[in-house]
A and B are shown apart, each in its own frame.
Chain A
Amino acid sequence: MIRFAWLQFRMQAAVAAGALAIVAVVLALTGLDLAHLYDSTIASCAAHHDCSTATTDFTDTDGPLQVFLDFLVLAVPLLIGMFWGAPLISREFEAGTFRLAWTQGVTRTRWLAVKLGLGAVASAAIAGLLSLMVSCWSSQLDHVNADPFDSLRFGVRDIVPVGYAAFAFTLGLTAGLLFRRMLPAMLTALVGFVAAREAATAWVRPYLFTPLHQSLPISTATPVSIDQTSPGIIKAFESIRGVSLPDAWVYSVQIVDQAGHTPTASFLSRACPLGNYGPLNPRGCTARLAATFHQLVTYQPGSRYWPMQWYELAIFLSLSIVLGGFCFWWIRRPVI
C-alpha cells in the first residue's frame, strides 16, 4: 500500500520539492548579501551611535521579498489543505475509483492509514523545511525588528507552520471523506483552517501563559497622549510603542499610581490642560504625571516565545490526531 500511495503521490512530491529547491536557491543568494549588509551596517553602527538610519536601511532591504516569504509560509499550509488534503479522498468518490481501490487486497483502514500518514508527514515536512529556510534567512532582520510575537510573524516562523500544515491537510482530508465532493471539501478546508488560525491567534495564544506585569517610570521621553472623548471624560494613554521591552509581547500599558488608580479627569484637566491639538504644555504635563504615576506594563517576556511555539504546535498536532481518529472511525462504516 505504501508503494501504491507513493505511486499516486510522486508527481505532487516532485512539484513540491522543485518549488522548495527554487526557494532555497533564491534564499541562499539573497541571504548572503543580507548577511554582508548586516555586518557592514548594523554590527558597526553602535560604534557610530547612529543606528536609526542603519536600521531602516537594513530592514528595508529586499522588502518585497520579505513580504513574499512571509506570505508564502502563511499560505502554504492553506494550499496544502485545499489542494492536497481536500481532493485526496473526495476525488475518489467523485470519479468512482473508490470502488476500484476498496476492492483490492487491502482493507479500507489500511488504505486510509497510509494515505493519511504519508500526506500528513509530507505536509509537515514541506512546511517545516520552508519555515526553517525562511526563519534562517530572516533571523537577522527579525533580531533588528525585535517583535517576535507579532501576530503575523509568530505564525510564519520556526515550528508552528509544521502543526498548521498537518492540521490543514487532515482537515481537508476529513472534509473530503465526509462530503465526498471536492469543492465543498476545499471550501471547508479554507474556512476551517482560517477560522482555526484566527481562533488560536486571538483566543488561545494570549492565554497560554499568565502575562507578567512591570512598572516603568514615566520619563520625559514617554509619549503620553491625553484624550478628551467627551466633556468631563479625559483619559491618559501611553502608546505601546513607547515601551521599551525588546522581544516582549506587550498586551497593554496603563498609567496608574501606587494604588493602581488611573488619573482622574479633574487631575488631568489641571495637570494637562488641552488645546486644539493636545496638551498645551506637553513637557509640563508629562512631568506632573510622572510625579504621581507610572506605567504598568502587561506583557509576555521574550523567553516565552519558544514555549508558546511548542504549545501551539502541540495544539494543532492534537487537532490533527483527533481529526485523523475521526476519519478512521468514519471509514469503517460501509456506506457508499
Chain B
Amino acid sequence: MTVIQTNGLGKQYGQQWALRDCTLRIPEGKVVGLVGPNGAGKTTLLNLAVGLLAPTCGSITVLGGHPSDGPAQLEKVGLVAQDTPAYAGLSVAKHLLMGSYLNANWNQEVAKDRIDQLGLDPRQKAGSLSGGQRAQLALTMAIAKQPALLLLDEPVASLDPLARREFLQGLMEIVAKHEVSVVLSSHLIADLERVCDYLVLLVASHVQLAGEVTELLATHQRLSGPRRDPRSLPSSHEVIEESHTDKQSTLLVRTDQPILDPAWTIKPVTLDELVLAYMGQARNPSPGRRSGLGVVS
C-alpha cells in the first residue's frame, strides 16, 4: 500500500516549474526523508499532498484518495507546516480545543498527555512560546487527530540544536507508539540518516533519487584506485560522481553487481555523501550520464 503516489506530477507558477515529472511510490510505514536544497520543490510537493495546492499536470494520490476530497481525506493527513504556524492569541489548551472541534478522530488524551510530558503550560498563549515549543505544539496537534500520514515541512530548520533533538525524539517516539507513516522534509541532511528509512531527493524541481535507505546504501559504493576513464567501467556500474588527480580516480558508483575489479578499493558510502553526490550531479550533469531519475524500487 502506498501512502503517496504521484504520476508525472508538476506544478507551474507563471513561467517557473516548482515541481516537474515527479513520479513516486512511497510505501507505508516508513519515515521518509524528503531532501533537497531550498527551492527544490519540497514544500510544493507537501502542499500538493494536503490539497493546499492543485497540480498543473500529472496526478497525486494520498492514502488512496485525492488530496482535496473532503473532510475524511483531510483527517487522514496531518501537516506540520513550515515555521509551525499557530494562533498567537490562542492558548495551548485552546489550540487543543480547536483540534477537538474540527477533527472527528481527535484523541484528547494523546494530546493532553503529550502537552503534560513536554511541560507546556496549557494556559500560555501560543504567541509567547519559543520556536521549539511551538513546533512541539504543532506536532501534538497533528498527531492527536490520529492521522495515517504525517507530513512535516522543515520543522526543525529554525530550531536550536537542543530543540531540534527534542523534536526528533518526540517524533520518533510518536512513530514507535502510533502506526503512522511520516514524510519529513529538510535541507539539513545530518539528522536524516538515523531517522529515515526511505529517501526522496529533490533537486531543481526534479526527483533525483528515491528509495529505501538500506537499498540505496547497498547499491552505492565509493571506489578509489589508479586513474581510469570511468567509461571503461562495465555498463552495469553507473558513475554518479567522479574526481581525478593525475594518478588517482575516485568514483561514486551505483550498481547491483559486485565490483570484481581488484584494482579498486571499495569503501561504503554514508547517506550524506550519497545525497551530496546526487545534488552535485544534478547541478552539473556530466556528459554521458543520463540525467533524471535514479529511482530504486
Contacts and interface: CB of A to CB of B under 8 A. Distances in A.
Interface of A: 1, 3-4, 7-8, 11, 95-97, 99-100, 102-107, 110, 333-336
Identify the interface centre among A4, A7, A97, A104: most chain B CB within 10 Å of its CB: A104
Given A96-B81, A103-B79, A335 B53 contact: yes
B68 A334 contact: yes
A100 B47 CA distance: 12
A96 B101 contact: no
Contact of B145 (A104, A333, A334, A335): A104
B79 A107 contact: no
Which 8 A-B residue pairs are closest in the complex by CB-CB distance?
A: A99-B81, A96-B85, A104-B102, A105-B103, A105-B75, A103-B79, A4-B101, A334-B54
B102 A95 contact: no
B83 interface: yes
A113 to B, nearest CB: 13
B98 A107 contact: no
What is the interface of chain A mostly: helix, strand, loop, or mixed?
Answer: loop
A97 B86 contact: yes
Contacts of B88: 95
B260 to A, nearest CB: 52
A334 B88 CA distance: 25
B103 A102 contact: no
A99 B145 contact: no
A96 B83 contact: yes
Nearest to B43: A336
B138 A100 contact: yes
Contacts of A99: 52, 79, 81-82, 85
A102 B75 CA distance: 11
Given A105-B71, A107-B71, A334-B68, A3 B101 contact: yes
Contact of B47 (A107, A110, A336): A336
B70 to A, nearest CB: 6
B77 A103 contact: yes
A335 B54 contact: yes
15 contacts: A3-B101, A7-B90, A97-B85, A97-B86, A97-B87, A99-B81, A99-B85, A100-B138, A103-B79, A103-B81, A105-B103, A105-B145, A106-B102, A107-B74, A336-B47
A1 B85 contact: no
A7 B97 contact: yes
Nearest to A102: B52
Range of interface residues on chain B? 35 or more
Contact of A1 (B50, B74, B99, B102): B102
B53 A336 contact: yes
B276 interface: no
A336 B104 CA distance: 26
B96 to A, nearest CB: 11
Contacts of B87: 8, 95, 97, 100
B94 A7 contact: yes
B131 interface: no
B85 A106 contact: no
A7 B72 CA distance: 23
Contact of A103 (B52, B54, B83, B97): B52
Contacts of B53: 334-336
A11 B87 CA distance: 14
Contact of B99 (A8, A97, A104, A107): A104
Interface in B78-125: 78-79, 81-83, 85-90, 94, 97-99, 101-105
A94 to B, nearest CB: 10
A118 B88 CA distance: 22
B210 to A, nearest CB: 24
A152 B130 CA distance: 51
B208 to A, nearest CB: 25
Contacts of B72: 105
B51 A104 contact: no
Nearest to A99: B81
Given A7-B90, A335-B54, A103 B85 contact: no
Given A103-B50, A105-B74, A335-B53, A8 B102 contact: no
Given A100-B141, A334-B53, A105 B85 contact: no
A96 B145 CA distance: 20
Contacts of B141: 100
A330 B70 CA distance: 17
Contact of A8 (B47, B50, B81, B90): B90
A103 B78 contact: yes
B140 to A, nearest CB: 12
A99 to B, nearest CB: 4
A107 to B, nearest CB: 6
Contact of A100 (B54, B77, B85, B101): B85
Contacts of A100: 79, 81, 85-87, 138, 141
